[in-house]
Amino acid sequence: MHVNSCNSLDFHDVAVVGAGPAGCEASLAAAAAGASTICLTINLDAVALHPANPVLVDGTGDPRMRLLEELHGAGAALPGLLKEPGASIESGARTVIDRRVLGLAYKERLESANGLSPRQSLVTSISPGKGIWNVATSLGETFRAAAVVVAAGTYLNGVVTAGGVSTPGGRHGDIPANALACCIKSLGIAMERTTATSYPRLDSRSVDNAGDGLVPPDEAVLGELYGSDVDVDGNGAAALKQLRRRGGYSEGWITRLGYTVHHHILTADQVDPTLQALRQSGLFFAGKAAGSCNYTEAAALGFVAGKNAAALATGEADIKLTTNHIFITKLCRAVSRQQSRPVTIRIPPPGC
Ligand SMILES: Cc1cc2nc3c(=O)[nH]c(=O)nc-3n(C[C@H](O)[C@H](O)[C@H](O)COP(=O)(O)OP(=O)(O)OC[C@H]3O[C@@H](n4cnc5c(N)ncnc54)[C@H](O)[C@@H]3O)c2cc1C
């Protein structure tokens, strides 16, 4: 049976910052490659807890479907987790993920993987020493690691705008990672500002006709309904008024306002296609913080970064991307070089 090592040892081969899909995949991939791994995340009760129930597959032609197939072949966790009971609901050509079920499944994987130690901590700085990285947290701990993967999602200098009010936050209700963002900048790594938006959610009992195009009917089976095309930046009363002008929504009731997260991501030319920082050996980036768009892509980048970080730390061979990994390769190259950000392979960027 695996015994967690991080409570007695402060050195790990790989330290992963974040436990969204990118951080989870990075941690699992590094540990599976034989690297002792610590995964530091703000809240262990919110592992891989997506802000909304994501629609991952829009049809067989969707590159995300191909990405999932490639990840399955490569040994990433996400494709298998999506098959766990209740994790995904198929509706026509779409697959809607139950974020709570998927999050718990990822958490269980983190907790049961050999050589992997999950830890609840806010990372405030990462600094290079002699062939080693020091990873400091807000609780005064410092962990040392041969390689670090930063998978901090939308939290770097995050500001959440909801109901016309802006407050610091990684997502709605979460704290931001401001000290870490500052530290990354001080390491000579360039970042730029971007946004991610979540539409309001509605009480399904208040909606007469959930299928009129405003609220996708397949998401109704997961509890709250999602009200797309409703202003997310204005105040709550304005959003409700806008919603109630639509047919079938005269009694519509918003349970959670929509919101926008403004946050930092890497600019182009900061990492190579292995996702290692060009200016800092042993420092890798993955997921939204590296510049990807969606959940599947974040998972793919995490998987690659985790494998490569483990290879660097242990001296084993790094991941070999072959013709079986066309979409994974495209994504890594785009995150490395593509100027327009965030990056997605859903509409293939030019030159990839
Ligand atoms: C509002 C919103 C709606 C979205 N809707 C969709 C959608 O419908 N479909 C879709 O595919 N994608 C959607 N996305 C994008 C999707 O959420 C991201 O692409 C995906 O979650 C990115 O995964 P990640 O692992 O990179 O980051 P995240 O999932 O954001 O995870 C980041 C992790 O890092 C941790 N962390 C951050 N800073 C620190 C620190 N300093 N120390 C320790 N831990 C830290 C956090 O606690 C968290 O665990 C949405 C994003 C947002 C914000």
Residue 282 lies inside a defined structural domain of this protein: yes
Domain harbouring 28, CATH code = 3.50.50.60
| Beta-sheet strands, E only, within the chain | 11-17, 37-41, 55-57, 88-91, 94-97, 116-120, 123-128, 133-137, 142-150, 159-162, 165-168, 191-198, 201-202, 225-226, 254-256, 259-266, 283-285
Cis peptide leading into residue 200 (ω within 30°): no
Residues 115 and 39 in one domain: yes
122 CA to centre of ligand 1 in angstroms: 15
Residues 235 and 286 in one domain: no
Q: For residue 157, give Cα distances in angstroms to 105, 183, 304, 312.
A: 29, 11, 25, 29
Tokens encoding 123: 């990372």
Establish whether residue 18 lines the binding site of ligand 1, counting it when its CB lies within 6 angstroms of any ligand atom: yes
**Residue 1: predicted pLDDT:** 38
pLDDT digits (tens, 9 = 90+) for 164-184: 899 999 998 899 999 999 999
Domain count, the chain: 2
Q: Which of 32-46, 104-118, 254-268 has the lowest mean pLDDT?
A: 254-268
Domain boundary among 257, 288, 303: 257
Cβ(76)–Cβ(303) below 8 Å = yes
Nearest CA, atom 26, ligand 1 = 287
Domain that holds residue 328: 11-155+264-337
Cα–Cα distance, 86 to 90 (Å, whole number): 10
Nearest CA, atom 47, ligand 1 = 42
Say if residue 351's pLDDT is above 50: no
Residue 288 CA, closest ligand 1 atom number: 26
Establish whether residue 154 lines the binding site of ligand 1, counting it when its CB lies within 6 angstroms of any ligand atom: yes
Residue 46 CA, closest ligand 1 atom number: 49
pLDDT digits (tens, 9 = 90+) for 74-101: 999 999 999 898 888 776 667 778 888 9
Establish whether residue 335 lines the binding site of ligand 1, counting it when its CB lies within 6 angstroms of any ligand atom: no
Nearest CA, atom 52, ligand 1 = 196
Cβ(227)–Cβ(201) below 8 Å = yes
Residue 177 lies inside a defined structural domain of this protein: no
Residues 136 and 205 in one domain: no
Residue 172 CA, closest ligand 1 atom number: 1
Nearest CA, atom 13, ligand 1 = 294
Residue 261 CA, closest ligand 1 atom number: 53
Computed on alpha carbons and rounded to an integer, the radius of gyration of the chain in Å comes to 20
pTM: 0.92
**E strand or H helix at 283, and its extent?**
strand 283-285
Establish whether residue 300 lines the binding site of ligand 1, counting it when its CB lies within 6 angstroms of any ligand atom: no
Say if residue 26's pLDDT is above 70: yes
- Phi, psi for residue 94 in degrees, rounded to 5: -105, 150
